[in-house]
Amino acid sequence: MAQSEQVKGFVNNVLAGAVWDGLKQLWGPVVIAAVVAIWGKLKHGSLDWYAIVGMFLLASLLVFLNFRKPKQPPEALQRWKPKWQKLQWANAERERLELKVKELESQLSQANKPTENKLSDADPRIYLSEIKMSGEGMFPATPFVIENLGGTVAHKIQIQPLVFARGSAVFPPLGMLPVGRSEEIIPKATSDTVMGKRSIIQLVQNAWGDKLNAEGALPLLDFDFGITITYENHAGRQIETAVDLRYSYASQKLRQDYWDRIPKNEQKIFDIKDTRFRLLLVGQGE
């Protein structure tokens, strides 16, 4: 029905334009002839002819002003339409907007849909937020604090073993981690004593010493290493987080020698340098 109204309006505009063009073609000769006749009458006419000429000029002026009258805007025309026509227009506009909304929702769904070669905002993303220093003294521990800052729940979370030349550390698996939640994972390290099995400090310090001896560089105060974390979403889509870490021997010595003077939270032994994500395996149905 809206299309029929548009066609009808188009035809009316064409007819009105044709009539106006015809009037313009006839307007010039008619005016010239009238002016010549009136001029002849005025030279030999009476007072009545002056009145006739005045009325003719007034009528011409009114016609001219009528054609120069500005068109009403669409909003003004819309106000004077009958209610049934307004309702018809509103329904047509609603249908158009509904189609536009469906089109935009489809585009958004395609943009957020995971693909085989890239991650999307809908995937889980596990971050290593920090390596804590707790339980110092007889039973030190270094919990790995992980958090899910992705778009869905992470499943089968596993920090891969941390392996050095003189020892290693393994981590227990975590079944799931909801979005926005964090969890502490306690490592199980190889150590000569029971007291050091919950901390990676001795492992990393031994690796730092081995590198110092091999390179012969003094002083070598930092030691870089990395860990990887694997996990998946509900469809089995497997993702890996790679974290670059830096161990600071100087910070550890400050904590040990000036433990009563410097707040422990101001001296971080482990610093997170970089975090990267990689898609390992596409899930079922993708």
The pLDDT of residue 257: 75
The pLDDT of residue 253: 81
What is the DSSP code (8-state) at residue 233? Answer: -
The pLDDT of residue 60: 75
> CA geometry: angle at 98 spanning 92 and 99, to 5°?
95
Separation of alpha carbons 225 and 247, rounded Å: 8
Separation of alpha carbons 154 and 124, rounded Å: 5
Separation of alpha carbons 84 and 1, rounded Å: 12
pLDDT tens for 89-138 read 777 888 888 888 888 887 776 665 555 558 888 999 999 999 998 876 66
The pLDDT of residue 262: 64
CB atoms within 10 A of CB 229: 24
Per-residue pLDDT of the chain (286 residues; tens, 9 = 90+): 555 555 556 556 656 665 555 555 555 566 666 666 666 666 665 666 667 767 777 777 776 666 665 555 555 555 556 676 777 777 788 888 888 888 888 777 666 555 555 888 899 999 999 999 887 666 789 999 999 999 999 999 999 999 998 899 999 999 999 999 999 999 999 866 556 789 998 899 889 888 888 876 655 678 999 999 999 999 899 999 999 999 988 888 887 777 666 665 566 889 999 999 999 988 665 5
The pLDDT of residue 144: 97
Provide the whole-model pTM.
0.58
Q: Six-digit token pair at 22? A: 């015809």
Quote helix, strand, coil % in the chain, to nearest 5.
45, 25, 30
Strands 126-131 and 222-232 turn out to be unpaired
The pLDDT of residue 93: 84
Separation of alpha carbons 154 and 161, rounded Å: 19
| Element holding 130 (H helix, E strand) | strand 126-131
The pLDDT of residue 184: 96
> CA geometry: angle at 261 spanning 255 and 267, to 5°?
35
70 vs 19, 66, 67, 133, 200, CA distance in Å?
A: 18, 9, 8, 80, 84
What is the greatest pairwise CA distance in the chain? 137
- For the sheet with 167-170, list strands across it: 162-164, 167-170, 188-189
- For the sheet with 270-281, list strands across it: 174-177, 154-159, 222-232, 238-248, 270-281
The pLDDT of residue 283: 64
Q: Which of 131, 253, 246 is nearest to 200 (CA)?
A: 131
* DSSP alpha helix (H) spans, 216-276: 249-257
Separation of alpha carbons 218 and 134, rounded Å: 30
